[in-house]
Amino acid sequence: MTKLVLVPVDGSAHARQAIEFAVDWARNHDAKLHLLHVPDLPSASELAFVDRYSIDVSKTTQRLEMIGQDIVAEAMDMVRAKDFTAVEGSVSIGNPAQQITDKAKDLKADLIVMGSRGMGDFKSLLVGSVSHKVMQHAPCTCVVVR
Ligand SMILES: Nc1ncnc2c1ncn2[C@@H]1O[C@H](COP(=O)(O)OP(=O)(O)OP(=O)(O)O)[C@@H](O)[C@H]1O
Ligand SMILES: [Mg+2]
């Protein structure tokens, strides 16, 4: 049966490295790819200020979703440029680690391939907080590329 590899992408160079690895793996294992971006919503404490600054949360969410679609589209282009066409993509809004884990369960993914780091600039940890949490809760094997 065709295998499914979930590749969470955040537009970072690390995620691009993960895509490279995932395409090679998929080619060798008769697998297809699913690229996922998860726009992170403002935290509850940030949302407490929404009224004070007249922020329209639904518009903010819409914009985050549009940016997310662009991040996925760029990643899809990168995969297709490597002559690999068995690829789909999606955007799920919410907590990144939670959404990635849920998507892996929904799709019955055989493998998750992600970068060790991402767009965050707090570099004191070995891996970023998203890859750390996904490794802990993933329902399948998880490869962290570095
Ligand atoms: N919002 C996201 N949507 C989809 N995938 C993501 C997202 N954020 C991170 N990833 C995936 O996780 C990998 C590691 O990123 P992570 O966010 O854990 O590191 P970081 O940005 O350096 O650290 P932190 O976010 O904790 O400051 C990325 O290369 C990418 O594969
Ligand atoms: Mg990050």
Query: How far is 89 from 95, CA to CA, in rounded Å?
Result: 18
Query: How far is 90 from 72, CA to CA, in rounded Å?
Result: 7
Q: What single string gives the DSSP state of each residue in 68-115?
A: HHHHHHHHHHHHHHTT---EEEEE--S-HHHHHHHHHHHTT-SEEEEE
Query: How far is 32 from 19, CA to CA, in rounded Å?
Result: 12
Element containing residue 98 per DSSP (H, E): helix 96-106
| pLDDT for res 40 | 83
Calculate how far, in angstroms, residue 130's C-alpha sits from the geometric centre of ligand 2.
6
Q: Can you give the pLDDT of all 146 residues of the chain as single tens digits?
A: 889 999 999 999 999 999 999 999 999 999 999 999 999 877 777 777 777 777 777 788 888 899 999 999 999 999 999 999 999 999 999 999 999 999 999 999 999 999 999 888 766 678 899 999 999 999 999 999 98
Parallel, antiparallel, or unpaired: how do β-strands 31-37 and 3-8 relate?
parallel
95 phi and psi, to 5 degrees? -75, 125
Query: How far is 64 from 31, CA to CA, in rounded Å?
Result: 30
CA nearest ligand 1 atom 7, residue: 10
Angle formed by the axes of helices 13-28 and 57-81, nearest 10°? 50
Parallel, antiparallel, or unpaired: how do β-strands 3-8 and 111-115 relate?
parallel
Q: What is the CATH number of the domain that holds 122?
A: 3.40.50.620
Element containing residue 6 per DSSP (H, E): strand 3-8
Q: Which residues form the domain of 141?
A: 3-145
The set of protein residues with a Cβ atom below 6 angstroms from ligand 1 is 8-10, 12, 14-15, 18, 36-38, 40, 96, 114-115, 117-120, 122, 128-131
Cβ(55)–Cβ(1) below 8 Å: no
Domain count, the chain: 1
